[in-house]
Structure 1
Amino acid sequence: MTRNLILGALLSSLVLLLAAVSFIWTPFDHAAMNIPAKLQTPSAQHWLGTDHFGRDLMSMIMVGARTSIAVALVAVGIGMGAGVPLGLAAAARKGSWLDELIMRGNDLVFAFPSLVIAILITAVLGAGAVNAIIAIGIFNIPVFARITRGAALSLWEREFILAARVAGKGAARISAEHILPNVMNLLIVQGTIQFSLGILAEAGLSYVGLGAQPPTPSWGRMLAD
């Protein structure tokens, strides 16, 4: 387990490092085409070879990592920013019409595969990285709402919450001051999971031409090409 954890951490750190370095340096211009040098094998000049347009694959992977990470990170931010307040509100009003409305909305989204929903949204809004972020972020909202609600419900019966209610604090204040800090660790863990899924979703959308558009590199578009 420890060895797998270390290996995963090293690989993740490598991807993040490549994305960070790409802001200031890449072996070649990722968009520069060199047809005579197309489909070259790895060499001292082109570390991972070239594609069918003669573009350096190492440079494209580095910049593509930046694109995928940015899309996934913002999409997780959208999911947490909207889903967490919804989950807190549903837990604070357990059994009310608001709770039912939020949870049934979550069930409606979960009734369809996430990638299908993302493809549908980007097909309606149009292809592009921004619309891919919106599509992935929308699916993240019910994930965080359900996680937050489940964790918050167990806390509402705790003694320190009852003490806060006796002290005259309202549901919104209790949720912000007492519930949210106690579920934050769980949300961070779920955020890392959704982040990795967001990278896969962005690659899938780009693979079918609905994600980042040329000349912006994307891992999914690289696979499609």
Structure 2
Amino acid sequence: MSRQLPPLTALRAFEAAARLGGVSKAADELHVTHAAISHQIRALEDWFGLSLFDRAGRQIRLTEAGAKLLSPISAAFDNIAGAVNLVCEDANQKVLTVSAAPSVAYKLLVPRLSSFAAMEPDVEVHLHHSVELANFVSDGVDVAVRFGRGNWPGTVSKRIMEGFVQPFASPSLLQNAGYALADLPLTPEQIAALPLHHEDSTEFWRAWFEKAGAPGLRFRSGAVFHDAA
């Protein structure tokens, strides 16, 4: 009989927010953004088809359904953590868990695994696919490869290669906005008027506008306008 389970990432976000009494505290513990925790909780509520928290501004309080869910979920995660610790204590097993985005894992890490195995034949490498910041306390991750500035709290980072960011747009988006290929490249002001997509943060858009010589430009991110400065 198959188990009917919601996404485990959403359960972790819910459990941390409920246990700590806030979305921001859960985000700090799991080393993700406030928006990522909120998104996961809402996805879990959609899965159940009911509310798990009552919200009043930034304050959250468990509903009756959320209170029923918290205790067994917390116990389950404690049991999983205990089992993982027991396995990791096996002195005969040397495991290196490396977390990276799937594209980085397959293009950068997998081609080098044979060379690493030749140098360290007693170490078994586990690849963990994720783009969220790793929590080296609770995730069981030893090393993480991420794209960013490297100023993540509670970590020691080392740059392994240069990166760059630049805008991309589908031809249909440009066409709908009234631009033709002959109009390219667009100015920062023209780009700022388009709906700009991003992940949890507008950090890289702000950096790009600054690099393009328009640090104070207001730009559209979804339905919200931001100052690039």
Superposition TM-score, scaled by structure 2 size:
0.21
Q: When you count strand as a share of all residues, which structure comes out higher?
A: 2
Q: Which has the higher contact order (CA 8 A, sep 6+)?
A: 1
Q: When you count helix as a share of all residues, which structure comes out higher?
A: 1
